[in-house]
Chains A and B, each alone.
Chain A
Amino acid sequence: MSGWISNFMNHPATYLKAGWVQISVSNLIVILLMLTVFALAIFIPFPNEDSGKGKK
């Protein structure tokens, strides 16, 4: 658990503020990632080997 990244992680977080809204950069990244992944999951085509063959 050494290395500069875990060192970096254990420093006080940065917070973004807009009026009464306040969020840590880490939480914001997590939430934006979730929204992005959700959007990508819908728009990126799923590989479909069988398409058109139509078994019954």
Chain B
Amino acid sequence: MWTARARESWQKNLPIEKLIPDTQPAYVVSWIYVFGVLTIAALSVIIISGLALAFAGPAWYHTSDFGHWVNSLHFWSVQLFFAFMVIHLWGKFWMAAWRGGRIKTWISGAVVFVLSIATGFTGYLIQTNFDSQWIAYEAKDGFNSAGIGAFFNVTNLGQMLLLHVAFLPAVLGLLTLIHVLMVRKRGVVPPIDANSSNTEASR
């Protein structure tokens, strides 16, 4: 049965020691390593503040002080999310973190980055204020010129609203999860210039 095989494969590739490890290779000592988890932490604040905003409808924050504060939480968590994610990306680039069969990990992370820009963009479109009027009018030309506007109509508030709160975060969340599981499965990439003889010597 494929169901039994799926369980076995999970057990083999991601046992609890890998999924929730209690040790790390000794070279994992740098502040640069915290930016991945900081990005995820910012994403979780984005999701929680976003759910609060969604609960009362898209125009709530214009008229309620509390709503405006929740909007501010959403705004700043997005700013931090992008800052942390870009620093994480810089760090992983200079570590050449795709080495040792980790290419798919890099690809999934880079796709998350691009998709985050799209998701953030739909957020700017559903602010229902001057900013979103302006962005919708300006941005439509780029999408229309490439034929994308026919399916992804940035001037359609309803479509952007639903994409921003349903489809895009679902895909983003799933890809983030896959990205993290890939990191856990393969472990943190060894230092550039580390080799087996060094490792043997260190034993």
Direct contact of A and B (CB under 8 A): yes
Residues of A participating in the B interface, judged by any CB pair closer than 8 Å: 1, 30, 33-34, 37-38, 40-42, 44, 46, 48, 50-51, 54-56
Question: Complex Cα distance A6/B39, Å?
Answer: 26
The answer to whether A44 touches B69, judged by C-beta atoms less than 8 angstroms apart, is no
| CB-CB nearest in chain A for B71 | A1
For chain B, what secondary structure do more than half of its interface residues adopt (helix, strand, loop), or is it mixed?
Answer: helix
Indicate whether B91 reaches chain A with its CB closer than 8 angstroms. Answer: yes
In the complex, what's the smallest C-beta–C-beta distance from B120 to chain A, in angstroms?
14
Q: Which of B9-17, B23-31, B156-164 contacts A (4 or more CB under 8 A)?
A: B23-31
Give 29 CB contacts A-B under 8 Å: A1-B65, A1-B68, A1-B69, A1-B72, A30-B83, A33-B83, A34-B83, A34-B87, A37-B83, A37-B87, A38-B32, A38-B90, A40-B31, A41-B30, A41-B32, A41-B34, A41-B35, A41-B87, A42-B30, A42-B32, A42-B91, A44-B31, A46-B30, A46-B33, A50-B26, A51-B26, A51-B29, A54-B202, A56-B203
Indicate whether B79 reaches chain A with its CB closer than 8 angstroms. Answer: yes
**If A1-B69, A30-B83 touch, does A46 touch B31 (CB 8 Å cutoff)?**
yes
In the complex, what's the smallest C-beta–C-beta distance from B25 to chain A, in angstroms?
11
Mark each residue of chain B from 116 to 135: 1 if its CB lies under 8 Å from any CB of chain A, else 0. 00000000000000000000
